[in-house]
Amino acid sequence: MPQMGPLLWLNLFLMFTLGYILFFIINFFCKLPIKTETFTHTSTILEKPWKW
């Protein structure tokens, strides 16, 4: 079986690396964003009478 030259190994490595990166990018952007309900924070200020 003939051995692959170094440039062919480099091309093969780059091809699989790009495929791996593209696979994860596609999986990342294919998810639909989860809609979160808008939370309205109404802060209640407790008024305490000052005791001097």
Q: What are 4-40's pLDDT values in tens digits?
A: 677 788 889 999 999 999 999 999 888 777 777 776 6
SS (H, E, C) the chain: CCCCCHHHHHHHHHHHHHHHHHHHHHHHHHCCCCCCCCCCCCCCCCCCCCCC
Nearest-angstrom CA–CA distance, 46 and 52:
18
Rounded to 10 degrees, what is the CA torsion of 16, 19, 21, 22? Answer: 170
Could you tell me the pTM of the whole model? 0.50
